[in-house]
Structure 1
Amino acid sequence: MIQNELIQLLSKETEKELTYAIKAAPFYSIMLDTTQDISKIDQMCEIYRYCSIEYDDNGKPKALQINESFLGFHKVEGQSGAALSEQILQIIKQRGLSISRCRGQGYDGASNMKGIYKGVQKKIIDVEPSAVYVHCAAHNLNLVINDAVKDVTEMAQFYDIVQRVYVFFGLSIKRWDILSSLISESGTHKGVTIKNLNPTRWAGRYDAVFALKVRFFQNLTVNKFSIKMLQPKAVDLAKAADLLKVCMDEMCRLRNQFEDVKKEATDIAQKWSIRPEFEKRDFVP
């Protein structure tokens, strides 16, 4: 009981300090998302993005610090744009913040959030026209990539195999123990294990494939994908555009070096004693 009380006191004090910092900033943006907890209750996270000025010993500004502060979860009272926006405005008011200083909204691309007529962003803009809506860049890229590959049969089959490998080992304690005993815990990727395939986030698919690749062929290296690079708090729209261009350039490079990628896949297959077979197709230029 005492430790719970101490944790609650520390939480309240931290929350108070963060709220004070947000109030001290001239403007702020809100970033919100919802997800179900283990009890199937929809929870909305409350995050504020704002800038603070660092001063030197002489009291002169020396740096601009970008901050993102998480202040809590809230049970979602309704899923409509009107219900969510009303709850958001009420939360902001309870914090003692003025909606007139809100200059940005960051949500995913769900219709109840981004809708131009009845979405949350429209309801907030009706109250504060300067609160510009920005679709989360990382989430946007996830959607683009998923849409680009969802109709490719070979990709669907590949990820089905990745998921079945996890299910085969993950649903059996005995098989998982055998796999764990065979996995080398030395080297750069210590502690990496095969993972469940994330159905919505492409970065999660990267983690699953990377773990499988490391565990069955540990000497290969894998390039980091741009999605995780879009998530740091210091990333602005210009930086996001640059990162997306780098991603596109890398994909073009891989396409132009297809034979090299094919050879690497062949080497991996041979390492696993798998007969490499590639379907031949006629392409019309």
Structure 2
Amino acid sequence: MADEATDCSTKEQIALYVRYFNRQQGEVCEEFLGYREASSTTGQALAETFLEALDEYGINIDQMRGQGYDGAANMAGVHRGVQARIRERVPLALYTHCRAHSCKETIVRNMMDTVQTAAFAFDYSAKRLLNFEECLANDDEARMAMNRKTKLKTLCETRWFSRVDALNTFLKCFAVVVESLEELGGDGDSKARGYALSIKQYLMEIES
């Protein structure tokens, strides 16, 4: 499994992982191998970099039975993508599209939408943000969990690690979010009331 991204110095870095069956433990394991700098992001260049790295780590390429990347053309292309180039070398290495980029579970999508909507609701309104900060100041447990943060984080469409941070932040101050939205709704903010109802509806869905 691999993915590439541009780092802060504008270099293309490739993160490489392997998933394998550990016979001694009797379970599937996953290990991070390391990073490789990419001289080019074409399917051919990336495939060569992947195979060279696996060889350097002493991994028997001929035993590869799967490969997983995102859906970008240079990765998933059926003719010139990485997966196609790899299969020219290892025909049994079947390609699987990254599930994180193709999740169709309604409950997961609803959850993501709810978190994003709530973050935007507070981020783009000074009145709502002030109310949120006041509610947070009155909740010692949430305030400590937030570790000096005073705002929710919005979800990034492409950086999945940032989504983890946004979801963790939302979880830590969940009670504060609901309390603030309900207070705002009670003061006549119809949108805030709707957001609070949306969150409660989601909780009812997962509980059922």
Same fold (TM over 0.5): yes
> CA–CA distance in 2 between the matches of 1:212 and 1:34?
33
Q: Which residue is 2:71 aligned to?
A: 109
Could you give the per-residue CA deviations for residues 55-83 of structure 1, whole angstroms, max 9, x where no partner exists?
Answer: xxxxxxxx512111112111121111111
1 or 2 for the larger relative contact order (CA 8 Å, sep ≥6)? 2
Aligned length: 181
* 2:9 maps to amino acid: S
- Is 1:161 matched up with 2:116? no
Task: Give structure 2 stretches of 5+ with no counterpart.
Answer: 195-208
Aligned match for 1:185, one of 127, 130, 140 = 140
How has the CA–CA distance of structure 1 residues 67 and 199 changed in structure 2, closer, same or farther, with 3 Å as cutoff?
A: same
Q: SS at 1:50's partner residue?
A: strand
How has the CA–CA distance of structure 1 residues 115 and 141 changed in structure 2, closer, same or farther, with 3 Å as cutoff?
A: same
Aligned match for 1:198, one of 132, 152, 155 = 155
* 8 Å contact kept, 2:2–2:17: yes
Q: Which residue is 1:215 aligned to?
A: 176
* 2:137 maps to amino acid: L
How has the CA–CA distance of structure 1 residues 144 and 127 changed in structure 2, closer, same or farther, with 3 Å as cutoff?
A: farther
Bigger-Rg structure (1/2) = 1
Q: Which residue is 1:122 aligned to?
A: 84
Give 1:33 shift: 1.1
Give 1:114 shift: 0.7
Aligned match for 2:185, one of 251, 270, 280 = 270
Could you give the per-residue CA deviations for residues 1-52 of structure 1, whole angstroms, max 9, x where no partner exists?
Answer: xxxxxxxxxxxxxxxxxxxxxxxxxxxxxx1112232323221111111111
Q: SS at 1:71's partner residue?
A: strand
How has the CA–CA distance of structure 1 residues 75 and 274 changed in structure 2, closer, same or farther, with 3 Å as cutoff?
A: farther
Task: Give the RMSD, CA atoms, in angstroms.
Answer: 4.1
Task: Give structure 1 stretches of 5+ with no counterpart.
Answer: 1-30, 55-62, 170-174, 220-264, 280-285
Identity %: 23
Q: Which residue is 2:205 aligned to?
A: none
* 8 Å contact kept, 2:116–2:155: no
> CA–CA distance in 1 between the matches of 2:184 and 2:101?
33
> CA–CA distance in 2 between the matches of 1:144 and 1:42?
34
> CA–CA distance in 2 between the matches of 1:216 and 1:156?
12
> CA–CA distance in 2 between the matches of 1:165 and 1:136?
36
* 8 Å contact kept, 1:162–1:209: no
Give 1:112 shift: 0.8
> CA–CA distance in 2 between the matches of 1:100 and 1:214?
52
* 8 Å contact kept, 2:145–2:172: no
